[in-house]
């Protein structure tokens, strides 16, 4: 699906009249949070722990698992070790910012509202070519998944719209998660060709800090961290989650699961997981997530939704 200039990919060199100028990243994040707040969403504080681009915060996981109506939006800093490129990639980076919304039940016109949120004039994205790509999406370690759409603007993946149908590997009442990659949206809106150039335009001091951050995080994650130590941290996180579940403490258990996922993602990025070891760790994380779900919402029949569980698909990281 395409919605852009009639002659194909637009040639954009910078903001035009009425478009985002100054700091497009901050402006876009604020505009998207305001959009969903005006639509009735409650603004959540960002999760203070380390969170991956494909993980859910405790609020989001328990909101999904609980089966009750939810309308939430938040701005969240996330990390993805597999995106480590020592600050040399034009679009990939370890640390990035997302705006996320979670809605249940979903209004019939929710997808149209989602697309409209990207087409507001003040975001500076009106002239961009928009394409949709279907996705079967999942967070394998949490047993979370569903189906939906990836959104590309001028060929760059910038957002995801997914109807989540499982948590802890168990079917749940469907909820829609919307995720925007804020730096990538700022990149498209500003007309810059790389994130380092966008950061330079925002603030040179900030840009220098971000370059150093990406270089040092990449080296730390891919070279310095001891693989044996990472495996030990993963095992301790799994043990802590099991202990918390034995005490029927869902929140501390889920926090320990997120710590375990953080270790697992570094090991995957380094290619340090052997197939059987990775499968065993992933299975334990999913089982523990299922235990957290049971504590907040005991399993119950969901009609034929049990036949619509998550399936494996492409990355969809924004």
Is residue 117 domain-shared with residue 234, that is, in the same domain?
Answer: no
Is residue 201 domain-shared with residue 232, that is, in the same domain?
Answer: no
The domain spanning residue 284 has which CATH number?
A: 1.20.58.180
**How far, in Å, CA of 150 to CA of 132, rounded?**
6
Confidence (pTM): 0.85
**How far, in Å, CA of 248 to CA of 228, rounded?**
30
Report, as an integer, the average pLDDT of 87-92: 91
Quick one: pLDDT band at residue 303, thresholds 50, 70, 90? Answer: very low
pLDDT higher than threshold 50 for residue 302:
no
Of 7 and 102, which is predicted with more confidence? 102
Report, as an integer, the average pLDDT of 45-65: 90
Is residue 230 domain-resident? yes
Using a 10 angstrom Cβ sphere, with 0-12 exposed, 13-18 middle and 19 or more buried, the burial of residue 99 is buried
Q: Please say whether the beta carbons of 142 and 55 come within 8 A.
A: yes
Report, as an integer, the average pLDDT of 161-188: 94
For 9-27, how does the pLDDT look when each residue is reduced to its tens digit (9 = 90+)? 344 444 443 344 457 888 9
Least confident of 12-26, 194-208, 233-247, 249-263: 12-26
Owning domain of residue 254: 225-298
- Which of 204, 221, 238 is the last residue in one of the domains? 221
**How far, in Å, CA of 249 to CA of 262, rounded?**
21
Quick one: pLDDT band at residue 8, thresholds 50, 70, 90? Answer: very low
**How far, in Å, CA of 261 to CA of 180, rounded?**
22
Is residue 14 domain-resident? no
Closest CA to 285 of 228, 249, 245, 226: 245
pLDDT higher than threshold 60 for residue 301:
no
The domain spanning residue 165 has which CATH number?
A: 3.30.930.10
User: pLDDT at position 155, please?
Assistant: 94
User: pLDDT at position 130, please?
Assistant: 94
Q: Quick one: tokens of 280?
A: 């065993």
User: pLDDT at position 192, please?
Assistant: 85
Averaged pLDDT score across all residues of the chain: 86
Closest CA to 144 of 175, 101, 114: 175
pLDDT above 90 covers a percentage of the chain that reads 65
User: pLDDT at position 287, please?
Assistant: 95
């Amino acid at each position: 699906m395409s919605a852009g200039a009639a002659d194909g990919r637009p040639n954009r060199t910078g903001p035009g009249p009425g478009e985002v100028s100054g700091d497009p990243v901050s402006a876009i994040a604020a505009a998207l949070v305001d959009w969903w707040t005006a639509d009735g969403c409650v603004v959540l504080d960002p999760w203070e722990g380390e969170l991956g681009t494909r993980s859910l915060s405790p609020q989001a996981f328990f909101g999904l698992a609980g089966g009750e109506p939810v309308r939430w939006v938040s701005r969240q800093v996330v990390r993805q070790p597999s995106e480590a490129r020592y600050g040399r990639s034009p679009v990939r980076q370890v640390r990035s910012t997302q705006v996320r919304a979670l809605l249940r039940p979903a209004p019939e016109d929710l997808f149209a509202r989602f697309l409209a949120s990207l087409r507001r004039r003040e975001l500076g994205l009106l002239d961009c070519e928009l394409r949709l790509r279907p996705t079967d999406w999942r967070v394998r370690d949490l047993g979370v998944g569903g189906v939906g759409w990836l959104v590309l603007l001028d060929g760059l993946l910038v957002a995801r719209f997914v109807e989540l149908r499982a948590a802890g590997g168990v079917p749940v009442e469907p909820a829609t998660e919307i995720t925007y990659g804020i730096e990538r949206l700022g990149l498209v809106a500003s007309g810059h060709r790389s994130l380092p150039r966008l950061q330079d335009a925002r603030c040179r001091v900030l840009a220098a800090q971000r370059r150093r951050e990406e270089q040092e995080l990449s080296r730390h994650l891919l070279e310095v961290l001891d693989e044996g130590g990472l495996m030990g941290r993963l095992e301790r996180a799994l043990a802590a989650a099991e202990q918390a579940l034995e005490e029927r403490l869902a929140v501390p258990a889920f926090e320990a699961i997120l710590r375990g996922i953080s270790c697992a993602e570094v090991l995957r990025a380094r290619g340090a997981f052997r197939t059987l070891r990775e499968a065993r760790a992933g299975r334990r994380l999913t089982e523990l997530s299922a235990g957290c779900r049971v504590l907040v919402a005991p399993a119950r029949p969901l009609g034929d939704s049990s036949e619509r569980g998550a399936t494996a698909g492409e990355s969809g990281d924004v």
